[in-house]
Structure 1
Amino acid sequence: MTTIRIRLTRRAPRIPQVQLVILAAGHGRRFGGLKQLAPVGPNGEAIMDYTALAAQSCGFSGVVLVVRPEIEDEVVSHVRRRWPSELAVDYARQPAVPGTAQAVLCTRPLISGPFGVANADDLYGEAALRLIVEHTGGPLAGADGAGLAAARSTMTPHLLVAYQLARTVLSGATVTRGLCEVGPDHLLERVVEHKVHLHDDGTFDATPLPGATAHEIGPTPERVLLSGRELVSMNLWGFDPRLFDELHEAVDTFDPTTAARPELLLPDVVA
């Protein structure tokens, strides 16, 4: 009798490819130009150039750049000159409707799986971007020594990579920061935008902005004193593609004439 030996092998789990959406459609009115292309590096690099290189190093499969039609040619020309040719880049045109919720929604035809979202004019660092890639295929990380923390949304398995407030403010100028309210088990409950001011002793004054959140914050915003260890959002997210259904519904029902502000932001939908 012939014996046939069968070897059973276990296929390694497939880790989904992750794309990074970079929001580069801003007008830069206060800046006075295209802030997303402003040279900041020793060789004229823009901030989003560093983000693209870090994304490639972390294992993102490609980048989707959200642009306005009137700046698309300039952005495309910059990317072709500056970015590695092996990095896959797609472009999504944001319609006239403002807001980061609409900006992300317009990338839907180009997204094939889990994805991250980042601003073009914020410098995040490789460690922060790596948290997004790891989140799609492994356990969620908590706070680390770099002042980063990962907080899940209460909706579906989405992720916000938050920063300690003190690590995001470099001077005494008053700036806007989204303070994160995080519940048990690193669950993100909401993000409330505040005007914050750094004192010489390292503490901060913070006052919530009117209309800073879809949630009620009271008729008279109260100034609070912060230590600098509080977590803030710099708009660095990791999303499951199921988010698009939520975004579509939120954008479709949003009425800027009755809302507290004329644009719908990602935290209004997610948190």
Structure 2
Amino acid sequence: MLNKPTLVILAAGMASRYGSLKQMDSFGPHGETIIDFSIYDAIRAGFGKVVFIIREEFLERMRDVFASKLDGRIEYDFAFQDFDLTKFGIDRKVERTKPWGTAHAVLSARNNVSTPFCVINADDFYGQDAFEKMAKFLTTEVSDEKMSLMGFEVGNTMSDYGYVSRGVCEVSEAGNMISVTERTKIYYQGDGKQKKVVFEENGETFDLDVKSPVSMNFWGFTPKVFEKAEDMFHDFVEKNWEDPKSEFFIPSVADQLVKDNEANFKVIPTSAKWFGVTYPEDKPIVEKSISKLIADGVYPEKLF
């Protein structure tokens, strides 16, 4: 596979709802992290490089955890998401306690990526099928005018223990994204037959179809996206520098590319059940799911 795609992993989050550094938490029988399973899937799907986007203070720990697993198997690198705006040509001083969001994280890796690439969350388990479909897209279909995202059914991406954030997609008959809207409070409401998926916006509650396609931050891009993201980030900082909780999200960049007729995004459908760890109570569910996948032969007993 020439010009192998790159896997970019968003691993700089604060994990405020989980209560610990879940990027490094173990879920497999030999202490495997969720990242380990993603990288394993990426390697067998044909990816050629991994870029971890982290906070710089995590670097030594990340090297300790991943160097022995990845040396000789796949090229890897680290990019830092921090509060330094000058590297994007922004002189304004802004006081924040959290980074600027997922699109800012991706932008932080612009000097580490030179091939078509996909972006994933460190704490989300996507599965073999998603990586195979994305690798195929990034090596046979992708262009600066045609990018992609994996479209999971929202009902397959929920937590029983609280709200989740999802990019809700509107999809054309041709299978392309018309728009994607970040909903930051999606949760279950009711019990039994009355149980349904809803989201909150401006204090109001709205129903959401369980099969609505959502982004789980599994995107397929070319490096062209960095140029768009940087232009938008300049505007975002100017408009939001006094709001310390404002975040610059990946769906906003994709949405603007579509609106400006600069790129289409193919929504690659999957009915696979996603699982992840938003809350501590999610951990045993993830461990049980991974154990079953190992028992079914999808993964070996020990990955690396």
TM-score range, shorter chain: 0.7 to 0.9
**Partner Cα separation in structure 1 for residue 49 and residue 65 of structure 2:** 17
AA partner of residue 66 (structure 2)? V
- Seq. identity, %: 29
- Whether the aligned pair in 2 keeps the contact of 1:53 and 1:83 (CA below 8 Å) is no
Please state how far the C-alpha of 1:93 moved relative to its aligned partner.
Answer: 0.9
CA RMSD across the alignment:
2.5
- Whether the aligned pair in 2 keeps the contact of 1:39 and 1:47 (CA below 8 Å) is yes
Please state how far the C-alpha of 1:160 moved relative to its aligned partner.
Answer: 0.7
Look at both structures and tell me which one has the larger radius of gyration over its CA atoms: 1
AA partner of residue 180 (structure 2)? R
**Partner Cα separation in structure 1 for residue 147 and residue 194 of structure 2:** 32
TM-score (norm 2): 0.70
Tell me which of 192, 197, 217 is aligned to 1:200.
192
For structure 2, the 5+ residue unaligned runs are: 84-98, 256-304
Please state how far the C-alpha of 1:84 moved relative to its aligned partner.
Answer: 5.4
**Partner Cα separation in structure 1 for residue 243 and residue 4 of structure 2:** 36
Equivalenced residue count is 235
**Partner Cα separation in structure 2 for residue 182 and residue 258 of structure 1:** 34
AA partner of residue 200 (structure 1)? G
- The answer on 1:168 being equivalent to 2:151 is no
Which sits farther off after the overlay, 44-53 or 165-174? 165-174
For structure 1, the 5+ residue unaligned runs are: 1-13, 141-151, 211-219
**Partner Cα separation in structure 1 for residue 246 and residue 204 of structure 2:** 20
| SS of match in other structure, 2:210 | coil
Please state how far the C-alpha of 1:108 moved relative to its aligned partner.
Answer: 1.1
Change (3 A) 1:246 1:139: closer
Aligned to 1:27: 14
Tell me which of 23, 33, 47 is aligned to 1:36.
23
The Cα offsets for residues 5-36 of structure 1, whole Å up to 9 and x where unpaired, read as xxxxxxxxx85320010011111122222111
Please state how far the C-alpha of 1:64 moved relative to its aligned partner.
Answer: 0.4
TM-score (norm 1): 0.78
Tell me which of 124, 127, 137 is aligned to 1:125.
127
**Partner Cα separation in structure 2 for residue 44 and residue 110 of structure 1:** 28
The Cα offsets for residues 34-85 of structure 1, whole Å up to 9 and x where unpaired, read as 1111111111111001001110000001100001011111111111244453
**Partner Cα separation in structure 2 for residue 202 and residue 113 of structure 1:** 47
Please state how far the C-alpha of 1:206 moved relative to its aligned partner.
Answer: 1.2
Aligned to 1:116: 118
- Which one has a larger percent helix, Structure 1 or Structure 2? 2
Aligned to 1:134: 136
Tell me which of 101, 122, 129 is aligned to 1:99.
101
Aligned to 1:48: 35
